[in-house]
A and B are shown apart, each in its own frame.
Chain A
Amino acid sequence: EDQVTQSPEALRLQEGESSSLNCSYTVSGLRGLFWYRQDPGKGPEFLFTLYSAGEEKEKERLKATLTKKESFLHITAPKPEDSATYLCAVQDPRRDDKIIFGKGTRLHILP
C-alpha cells in the first residue's frame, strides 16, 4: 500500500534554532510531492511542489528537498510565526484524482 509517513509528529524549537522535517514515501514512480502549511482553524496552504530527485525549492526560511524515497523541509532560523502543522502529500502514481497525505508534523517555535 502506498504510504506517506511524516516525522517527527511534533517538534518544539527555540526561535532561531534550525531543523528539518521528514516525509518518507513508498509510492513507486513519483509524479509529484507537495508540502502544505496548516494553521489552527484554517485550511492547508500550498507551499511547494517537487517532482524529481535532487530538486529543491525555497521560500523565505523554508527549503524543501527531494530524494528518491523522502523529502525534507528545512527550516532555517525559524520565528514564532512559523509555528504550524506542516503536511506532506504525494500524487498517487495510478490516479490523477488522488493525493495521499501524511499526518503532519506540528511545529512550535518558542520565542
Chain B
Amino acid sequence: EAQVTQNPRYLITVTGKKLTVTCSQNMNHEYMSWYRQDPGLGLRQIYYSMNVEVTDKGDVPEGYKVSRKEKRNFPLILESPSPNQTSLYFCASRFQGPRQPQHFGDGTRLSIL
C-alpha cells in the first residue's frame, strides 16, 4: 500500500530534550516536505527536499533541522525543543513537477512542556 509513515504519532517531552520525528514514503517520490498545523494558522511549511541531499527552508524553519540521506526517508529534528514548537506535524511527499498532489502522513502530535 502506498503510504507516508510518520513516527511517533504522539510525543510528550520536555524543553531542551532533542527529538527526531521520522518520515518514510514507499512511492519513490522525489519531493518531501514537513508542515506544522496550528489552530487558526493552517498548514505552514517547515522544510522541504527536492531530492536526496537537497534540502531547503520553508516558511517557518527556525528551531528545526532535516536531512535527506535516502530517497524514502526525511526525518525532522528538534535539537532543543521549546514549548512554542508544540503542534501537529505532517510529512508529505509527491513526484517532482507542477500539479503533482502531495500525499500526507497521519501526523505527529508533539507536546513540549
Contact = CB atoms under 8 A, between A and B. Distances in A.
Contacts of A32: 98-99
Nearest to B44: A101
A23 interface: no
A104 B42 contact: yes
Interface stretch (A10-18, A36-44, A72-80): A36-44
A46 B101 contact: yes
A43 B4 contact: yes
Nearest to B9: A41
Contact of B106 (A34, A41, A99): A41
Contacts of B101: 34, 46, 49
A97 B107 contact: no
Interface in A29-65: 31-32, 34, 36, 41-46, 49, 51
A96 B97 contact: yes
Given A49-B99, A91-B98, A103 B42 contact: yes
Given A32-B99, A43-B90, A104-B42, A97 B104 contact: no
Interface of B: 4, 31, 33, 40-43, 45, 48, 50, 56, 58, 90, 92, 96-99, 101-107
19 contacts: A41-B107, A43-B4, A43-B106, A43-B107, A44-B102, A44-B104, A46-B101, A46-B103, A49-B101, A51-B99, A87-B43, A91-B98, A96-B96, A97-B33, A98-B58, A99-B45, A99-B102, A101-B43, A103-B41
B39 to A, nearest CB: 10
**Top 6 nearest A-B pairs by Cβ distance?**
A43-B104, A32-B99, A103-B42, A46-B101, A101-B43, A31-B98
Interface residues of A, number: 22
A31 B100 CA distance: 10
Contact of A44 (B40, B45, B90, B97): B90
